[in-house]
Amino acid sequence: MSSKIKNALISVSDKENIASLLKVLKKYKINMISSGGTYKSIKKLGFRCTELSKYTGFKEMLDGRVKTLHPKIHAGILHDRRNKVHTNEMSKNKFPPIDLIIVNFYPFQKVVSNTKNFKSIIENIDIGGPTMVRAAAKNFENVAIITNKNDYPLLINELERNGGSTSLKFRQLMSSKAFGLTAYYDSMIANWFNKKLKIQFPERKTIFGKRLKKLRYGENPHQQSSIYLSDYNDKEIGFKQLHGRELSFNNYNDIFASLDILGSTKEKNCTVIIKHANPCGVSENSKSIDSLKNAFASDPISAFGGVIACNYKITKEIAKEITKNFAEVILAKEFDNESLKILKLKKNLRIIDISKFKSKKSSLIKSYDGAFMIQEKNQIILDKKKLRCVTRLKPSRKELSDIKFAINISKHIKSNAIVLCNNLSTIGIGGGQPSRLDSCKIAIQKAKKFLPKKIKNSIAASDAFFPFVDGVKILVNAGVKIIVQPGGSIRDKEIIDFANKSKIKMLFTGLRHFNH
């Protein structure tokens, strides 16, 4: 069903690109109604427009809080043109129909991002705009609603194609977008209040998100996918791609995993290599080049085609080292010109500058089939008050630094996680296994394959307690000299006795780090 537009109400905070639309409205002799800054802009551009207060016969009040909240406006939007009762009431009150609403809201998210002034934030919670939008979206049978300047070209084409009318299909599409916007807008406000009031788990939780881009496909080619931003800055993710093909779903997944680990370390030169969202090599070193080499050495086979993340500047020397191996993505704090020349020779290598990326430390969400769970991010690495050495042999200060590094890496690996480390570098990682014993075997197998000389006197970190002594035995037999675990098993005494008998050091953290 086609709907001829006679009257349009325009109220926009963002006045960009409005001129091209006004020309088409004028062409089809559509009367324009507006108020405030929008009215002034329309008049300044040379178009005829009726001021809202003159149209309603009621001056806006309360510093502009009440201007579009008027029966003449909402009856004009909401009445059903095919309902005789409605049309009679409209005729009796001399209320003309309003067939097109063009509205965007007060810039709440922009204000929240730029100020902490409570009064200013509250004043930028739009009431009249969302009310009109919801009314028009509900009455899509008769009214067209435009809430995004990017849809102006669609409206122009629709009017040109239909001689000043809009089709039902078009109005339905715009209605769905409109309800999406009001939900998004209200969600931002609700989340702002929850954060201000420190309500972490409200009775009703809304998650807002704006699509950043549509991805080529999901984890597999037969799955469709998009990436959304749930932030008041919903235009950029915080890092900049300098080269290479567009990022895929799996690229983003690996990037987020690598940034999580980088954000958890305070060391200057840390390299993280991620494959399938799991670290296969992590190293901290006073020299960035050594950090990179050590991270690769941990598991060079798994590193093939992975994501390399560095919290330091990439130089010519480091770039040459990187190009010795195949990588999908390289992330770093900065790239000098020489390094970029070298890296860009790899046509498909995605180069990402993360110098402006800042972790929001937000909650983690896991969803399934209409249900979702929310939890705090696992920010704690080690609680020194709970840390205790349970064996006769005690660790040195340097060993405590290595222990902290090992624990930190273990919390980023899928459970059951076992991490072997030596001198602030991983040498073997086992994780994602139903059995902790299997994870021990995999970690040892990796270390023996690539860095067998470093197993002796290495450190093993476990994300949860050892239920049996078997896992501890194979770690000790491989050459591990320090084991750190949460403790809490009914067999703790048996395990501690074995550790003392084997003359190794064992520490209990009292803190589990499951990562399912």
Catalytic annotation, residues: 138, 276
Could you tell me whether strands 327-332 and 350-353 are parallel, antiparallel, or unpaired per DSSP bridges?
parallel
Per DSSP (E only), the strands in 64-209 are: 100-104, 144-146, 165-166
Closest alpha carbon to 352 in 259, 245, 239, 428: 239
Cis status of the peptide bond prior to 294, with omega within 30 of 0: no
Which residue, among 466, 453, 462, has the nearest Cα to 482 in the 3D structure?
A: 462
Q: Is the separation of the CB atoms in 144 and 132 below 8 Å?
A: no
Q: 354: closest CA among 237, 233, 239, 235?
A: 239
Nearest to 481 by CA among 461, 462, 446, 457: 457
152: phi > 0 → left, psi -120 to 50 → alpha, else beta; which? alpha
The C-alpha atoms of residue 143 and residue 154 are separated, in whole angstroms, by 15
In angstroms, the CA 85 to CA 88 distance is 5
- Closest by CA to 142, choosing from 174, 105, 95, is 174
Crossing angle for the helix pair 436-450 and 288-298, to the nearest 10 degrees: 120
Q: What amino acid is encoded at 285 in this protein?
A: N
C-alpha–C-alpha distance, residues 502 and 479, integer Å: 11
How far from 184 is each of 23, 64, 174, 180, 210, CA to CA, in Å?
31, 23, 15, 6, 8
Cα 48 off chain centre by = 44
Backbone angles phi, psi at 434, to 5 degrees: -65, -25
- Rounded Cα–Cα distance for residues 493 and 114 (Å): 56
In the three-class reduction of DSSP (H, G, I as helix; E, B as strand; rest coil), residue 497 is classed as: helix
Question: Exposed, middle or buried by CB within 10 Å (0-12, 13-18, 19+), for 287?
Answer: exposed
Q: Which of 383, 365, 382 is nearest to 374 (CA)?
A: 365
CA angle 481, 482, 488 (to 5 degrees): 135
